[in-house]
Amino acid sequence: MTATDLADIPGLFRCETVSRAAATNQLLALTKQLRGGDSEVYTVHQHVDCPPEVLYDYLLDIRSVAEFTYSMRDFRPEGADGQYVGVDATEPETKIHLRISGNREVGTVDYESAFDQGDDLWMVFCGRVLSARRVQRRSGALVSWTIWRHPYYAKNPYPHLSPRRGRVWPGSFWPLFHACDVLELRNMQQILEHRMRARTMPVGGR
């Protein structure tokens, strides 16, 4: 990824600017507002004041993941099936495997991911990008994610692949995932709208 303008955007929810302790407090507070934590499924959504095709391209670009997420970083290609592997910057020993797929004609974009291994991508984020003009008669784009609670969130299915003994299973933080996704979509909004105002290319710093 080339140099980006993220440092010029105040208030982003990223591990480089928000400590893990502060992030946890923020997520706990937002979870109470959302009255979430125990749900089996949740949907997050965000309006972004940019063309729908710009938002769609941003979501499909692997480099964007390191920008709008709190701590998923340093993705590189792995294998021949479009999969990438990166790390959790707050715990670099934990690898994150990710594959992005989509259908531009209908605006769907899915993220399939997993911790520690890439043979069973059990965490599935089902996304949709729509024209805000079509849906709400206003400019811009709409994005939504729907996430279902997989049984593996509760218990590590591959404990032998853990990078070290005693590591807390990342899936156990499911109760905070709803709030985290809300804040990460706000990151996405701020990044893209900043770039639209600056008239810079909005995808991956290009």
Per-residue confidence band for 37, with pLDDT thresholds at 50, 70 and 90? low
Report the pLDDT value the prediction gives residue 205, as an integer from 0 to 100. Answer: 42
What's the first-to-final CA gap in the chain, in angstroms? Answer: 8
- Counting beta carbons within 10 angstroms of the beta carbon of residue 178, is it exposed (0 to 12), middle (13 to 18) or buried (19 or more)? buried
Take residue 190 and report the two structure tokens written for it.
């701020």
Judge whether 149 and 37 are in contact, CB under 8 Å. Answer: no
Report the pLDDT value the prediction gives residue 153, as an integer from 0 to 100. Answer: 96
Judge whether 167 and 158 are in contact, CB under 8 Å. Answer: no
Domains and CATH numbers, the chain: 6-198 (3.30.530.20)
Counting residues of the chain whose pLDDT is more than 90, the rounded percentage is 86
Q: What are phi and psi of 199, to 5 degrees?
A: 60, 35
Report the pLDDT value the prediction gives residue 38, as an integer from 0 to 100. Answer: 76
**Local structure of residue 168 (DSSP, 8 states):** P
Counting residues of the chain whose pLDDT is more than 70, the rounded percentage is 94
Take residue 19 and report the two structure tokens written for it.
């400590």
* Residue 59: HSE in the Cβ half-sphere, 13 Å Cα cutoff: 31
Cβ neighbours of residue 75 closer than 8 Å, sequence gap 6 or more: 62, 63, 65, 66, 84, 85, 86, 98
- As a whole number of angstroms, the distance between CA 16 and CA 159 comes to 29
pLDDT at 201 over 90: no
pLDDT in tens, 109-124: 999 999 999 999 999 9
Q: Which of 3-17, 62-76, 110-124, 185-199 has the lowest mean pLDDT?
A: 3-17
Q: Is 106 left (phi over 0), alpha (psi -120 to 50) or beta?
A: alpha
* Residue (of 27, 31, 11, 178) closest to 90 by Cα position: 27
pLDDT in tens, 56-78: 999 999 999 999 999 999 999 99
Q: What is the mean pLDDT of the chain?
A: 92
